[in-house]
Structure formats: structure tokens, C-alpha cells
């Protein structure tokens, strides 16, 4: 039997040397690679991520040097702040705060007459509040720097809605431009938004055809009001005055204190509204009432519009010219449409069976925008119709809405003085385009 060959002394020394090298390398690598020897707890990693998102400053999560500062900026133990990120949903936000979804459903119910939760978008700031026992007690939603709403839990498990508004002021700037192509393109290039251009079309469209009557070289000046709280803008704007110069004629529109627009003679240029959102009048099944006893819940809740007993499929008409601000489908309000009519007026149509327009569409008075229905939570087929002036709901069947009237005689002198001042500002004040050409800073960029 053949004996196996033994390793020579040279082979033994070579193997021993290789073993020593491998051992040395492993010892040197261990201290510099803790991730290979110590697992990070998944729960802790997720908690850090949620905290960064909730504070609205996720960049701080990656900066260890600022960890102490970040703790100081955290809300107290009874609140959880959150800045909404793209893709976030309310249910996910509530679940991340260990808030029962049954509370979310009650909040959505309390929001039916307001639909403020429907404005949720990336960047919106909200806060979940808890009582000393750790039970969820309120949701606070910041609509803009000057306005917030709160939904506070009541003893019966329902939620009460309240809106808070800070004092603001309006500051105007002038935007001036020259027609070099279409009015729309020229106006947007000067710094006006699409919504502002469409409002100008609504106000002056009865006096000229924007596509045919304007020529290259015609000019325009627009006073745009910006709402401020302290030094900060709320993001809300309005058109204060318009001057459109075409050859030897100037067309004007001035916004007066009532929220309506008038020409230099005090004659209305605000398109008149229809009183009813249907081609014929239907029975009012539930009137406007800020302190109504809800027919389903039995609780006292405002009814911010009127309910019209329309059969399912009845054509729904826009009561004025405007732009579709929002189209949605709410668990309680059903399919709905919001229309911004410029100036101070908006309308809302709820419980629709079919929506015929899309967000951003330009609408004319009397245009069919939907068919009535019974969607959402309701006691039967009907159309819920709302009219808002300066952000506040009014009775659409009795409110003082624009009807192509003149400035009241008692206000005529004050209107004339204000219009003259605005004409002077539009003629002589520096415009945003001029500031850009001179490389001077603009407060409203």
C-alpha cells in the first residue's frame, strides 16, 4: 500500500504564512465595518424617518451635528407635526401617528360642509394632538400662513370644526406689458398667471374680442394685490385694477370694496350671475341655515347651501363665468365641482351623478357642467348648491350677487377717487418687468 506524500518543510512554512496573512486582514477589517457585525434595529430606523418627515425638515435627519437642535425644535409630547409629502394620504398619516381610522372618518364627516381636507397637497402642514393619556384629541390643518382649521374631538366621539384667521393686509404691485402675439401669451410673459388672464377676459370680454381687436404694440397695466401677514405672503392674490390700451381707447376695470368690478364711470363690468343653477326652479328641500339640525346625524351642523329636489340626471348649470377650481369625489359630499368666478365669488355643486368638466376649464354662465344625482351621503336625490362671497357662504337665493348694476350713488364719490388713484399708479409705478430689466429685487417673485 502506497503511503501518502508528507508536506515538505517549505510547504508547511508557506501554508502557515498564508494563514497569518488572512488572520491579520480579518482583524484589521473588523473595527472599521460595524455594519457587518451589528444590525441596525428596523423599528428604530423607521422611527427616525417618520420623525424627520413629521417635522417637515427631512434634511436634518442626515446631519448628526444638528441632532441636538432638532430635538429642541420638536413639538411637545402631546402633538405630532407633519408636512405632507407627495403620495401621502390622510389614512397613512393617521396610521403613522397610531390614530384610529374611525376618528379620521368622523373628521371627514365634520368637514363635509367645508371640504378643507380636499385641499391637502404636498407642503401642507398639519398637527395631530393628543390628550395627557395619549388619546387622539384634535387635528389642526394650516391652510396658509394666515389661516388654519381645527377638528376637535367631542365627548360623543364626533368632531367640531373651527376656522381661525389672522389679520392680514394687501399690498399691490403693477404688472405692465405690450402685445407681441396673443394677449394670453403676452400677459403670461409679463408675469400674470393663467387664472388672472382668464379673469381679465371675463371682465373685458364683452367690450372687445381679444383675438381680433388687439394689435401688436397695444399695452396693458394690471394692479395685482398680494395678501401679507407681517412680511410674509399668504400666497393669495387678487386683481385690483386693469387698464388695456388699444390705440386711442383704454378699457378699465376697478375692483371696489364690494368685491365687484366697475369701469371708470362706475358701471359694472362683472358678469351677472344666474340665481338658480338649473334651467327651471325646483323645490327647496333644505334651505340655507348656519345652525341646521342634520337630518341624518341629528346634530346641529351648518348647512352652507340650499338643497334643490332635482331628479337624478337633471342638467346642472354654472351660475356665472369662471374657472373650475376643483373636481372631487367626497365620501359624504359625493361628486362635486368648485368654480372660481373671479373677484370675491365662488360656487359649489354637490351630490352630482356625472361631472362634465375638468379642473382648470374655463366656464361660461349657463353652461352645463354636470348632472344632479344622489352620490355621497344624502337622504335622497337632490342638488346641493352653494354661493360664497369673500370666502364665506351666503344664501344663494337671497344674497346680493352681481347683477350688472352700477356703484351705489352713496359710494360714487369714493369710488371715483379710488379709481383715479389706481389709474395714476398704473401709469407711473414701476412694474415687475421693469424691475427685472433693471435687475432690482421684487417682493412678489
Indicate whether 260 belongs to any domain.
Answer: yes
Range of the domain at 158: 75-165
386 and 289 both lie in a single domain: yes
Averaged pLDDT for residues 195-207: 91
Averaged pLDDT for residues 291-307: 78
224 and 190 both lie in a single domain: yes
CATH number at residue 213: 3.10.450.350
| pTM as predicted | 0.72
Whether the pLDDT of residue 304 is over 50: the answer is: yes
Indicate whether 399 belongs to any domain.
Answer: no
369 and 353 both lie in a single domain: yes
Indicate whether 279 belongs to any domain.
Answer: no
106 and 79 both lie in a single domain: yes
Q: Which of 423, 149, 387 is nearest to 259 (CA)?
A: 387
Looking at the chain, the whole-number percentage of residues with pLDDT higher than 70 is 78
Which residues are CB-contacts of 361 (< 8 A; sequence separation ≥ 6)?
Answer: 323, 324
Averaged pLDDT for residues 343-372: 95
Comparing 156 with 3, which gets the higher pLDDT?
A: 156
Comparing 41 with 374, which gets the higher pLDDT?
A: 374
237 and 288 both lie in a single domain: no
161 and 177 both lie in a single domain: no
296 and 342 both lie in a single domain: yes
Give the pLDDT confidence of 44-93 residue by residue, as tens digits: 222 222 222 333 333 333 333 333 333 333 445 699 999 999 999 999 99
Q: What is the mean pLDDT of the chain?
A: 82
Indicate whether 277 belongs to any domain.
Answer: no
266 and 415 both lie in a single domain: yes
Tell me what pLDDT residue 248 has: 86
363 and 421 both lie in a single domain: no
Number of domains in the chain: 3
Comparing 372 with 21, which gets the higher pLDDT?
A: 372
Tell me what pLDDT residue 394 has: 95
Tell me what pLDDT residue 340 has: 94
249 and 303 both lie in a single domain: no
CA atoms within 13 A of residue 388's CA, in its CB half-sphere: 18
Whether the pLDDT of residue 321 is over 70: the answer is: yes
Q: Which residue among 141, 165, 189 closes a domain?
A: 165
Whether the pLDDT of residue 437 is over 50: the answer is: no
Report the distance separating Cα 159 and Cα 129, nearest Å. Answer: 13
Q: Which residue among 165, 183, 213 closes a domain?
A: 165
Indicate whether 57 belongs to any domain.
Answer: no
Indicate whether 354 belongs to any domain.
Answer: yes
Q: Which of 122-131, 322-331, 371-380, 422-431 has the lowest mean pLDDT?
A: 422-431
Indicate whether 443 belongs to any domain.
Answer: no
How many CB atoms sit inside 10 A of residue 252's CB?
A: 21
Q: Which of 238, 133, 234 is nearest to 175 (CA)?
A: 238
Q: Which of 276, 300, 441, 423 is nearest to 349 (CA)?
A: 276
Tell me what pLDDT residue 39 has: 31
Determine the distance from the C-alpha atom of residue 256 to the mean position of all C-alpha atoms in its chain, rounded to a whole number. 25
Q: Which residue among 120, 144, 165 closes a domain?
A: 165
345 and 425 both lie in a single domain: no
Whether the pLDDT of residue 16 is over 90: the answer is: no
Indicate whether 290 belongs to any domain.
Answer: yes
340 and 356 both lie in a single domain: yes
Amino acid at each position: 500500500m502506497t503511503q501518502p506524500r508528507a508536506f515538505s518543510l517549505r510547504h508547511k512554512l508557506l501554508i502557515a504564512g498564508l494563514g497569518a496573512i488572512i488572520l491579520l486582514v480579518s482583524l484589521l477589517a473588523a473595527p472599521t465595518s460595524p455594519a457587518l457585525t451589528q444590525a441596525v434595529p428596523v423599528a428604530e430606523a423607521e422611527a427616525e424617518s417618520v420623525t424627520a418627515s413629521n417635522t417637515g425638515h427631512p434634511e436634518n435627519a442626515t446631519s448628526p451635528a444638528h441632532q441636538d437642535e432638532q430635538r429642541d425644535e420638536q413639538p411637545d409630547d402631546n402633538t405630532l407635526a407633519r408636512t405632507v409629502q407627495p403620495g401621502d394620504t390622510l389614512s397613512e398619516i393617521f396610521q403613522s401617528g397610531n390614530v384610529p381610522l374611525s376618528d379620521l372618518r368622523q373628521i371627514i364627516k365634520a368637514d363635509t360642509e367645508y371640504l378643507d381636507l380636499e385641499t391637502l397637497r404636498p407642503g401642507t402642514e398639519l398637527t395631530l394632538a393628543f390628550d395627557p393619556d395619549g388619546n387622539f384629541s384634535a387635528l389642526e390643518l394650516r391652510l396658509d400662513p394666515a389661516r388654519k382649521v381645527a377638528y376637535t374631538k367631542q365627548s360623543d366621539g364626533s368632531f367640531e370644526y373651527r376656522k381661525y384667521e389672522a389679520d392680514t393686509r394687501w399690498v399691490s404691485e403693477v404688472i405692465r406689458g405690450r402685445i407681441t402675439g396673443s394677449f394670453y401669451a403676452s400677459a403670461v410673459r409679463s408675469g400674470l398667471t393663467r387664472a388672472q388672464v382668464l379673469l381679465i377676459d371675463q371682465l373685458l370680454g364683452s367690450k372687445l374680442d381679444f383675438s381680433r381687436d388687439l394689435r401688436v404694440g397695444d399695452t396693458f397695466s394690471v394692479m395685482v394685490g398680494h395678501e401679507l401677514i407681517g412680511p410674509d405672503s399668504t400666497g393669495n392674490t387678487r386683481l385690483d385694477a386693469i387698464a388695456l390700451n388699444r390705440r386711442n381707447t383704454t378699457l378699465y376695470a376697478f375692483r371696489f370694496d364690494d368685491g365687484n368690478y366697475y369701469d371708470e364711470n362706475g358701471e359694472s363690468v362683472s358678469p351677472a350671475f344666474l340665481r338658480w343653477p338649473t334651467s327651471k326652479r325646483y323645490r327647496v328641500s333644505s334651505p340655507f341655515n348656519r345652525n341646521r339640525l342634520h337630518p341624518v346625524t341629528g346634530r346641529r351642523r351648518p348647512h352652507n347651501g340650499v338643497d334643490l329636489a332635482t331628479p337624478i340626471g337633471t342638467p346642472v348649470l354654472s351660475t356665472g363665468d369662471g374657472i373650475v377650481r376643483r373636481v372631487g369625489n367626497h365620501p359624504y359630499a359625493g361628486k362635486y365641482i368648485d368654480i372660481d368666478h373671479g373677484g370675491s365669488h365662488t360656487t359649489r355643486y354637490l351630490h352630482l351623478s356625472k361631472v362634465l368638466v375638468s379642473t382648470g376649464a374655463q366656464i361660461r354662465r349657463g353652461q352645463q357642467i354636470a348632472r344632479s344625482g344622489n352620490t355621497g351621503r344624502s337622504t335622497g336625490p337632490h342638488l346641493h348648491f352653494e354661493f360664497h362671497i369673500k370666502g364665506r357662504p351666503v344664501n344663494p337665493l337671497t344674497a346680493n350677487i352681481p347683477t350688472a348694476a352700477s356703484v351705489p350713488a352713496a359710494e360714487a364719490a369714493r369710488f371715483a377717487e379710488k379709481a383715479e388713484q389706481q389709474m395714476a399708479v398704473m401709469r407711473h409705478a414701476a412694474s415687475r418687468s421693469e424691475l427685472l430689466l433693471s435687475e432690482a429685487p421684487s417682493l412678489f417673485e
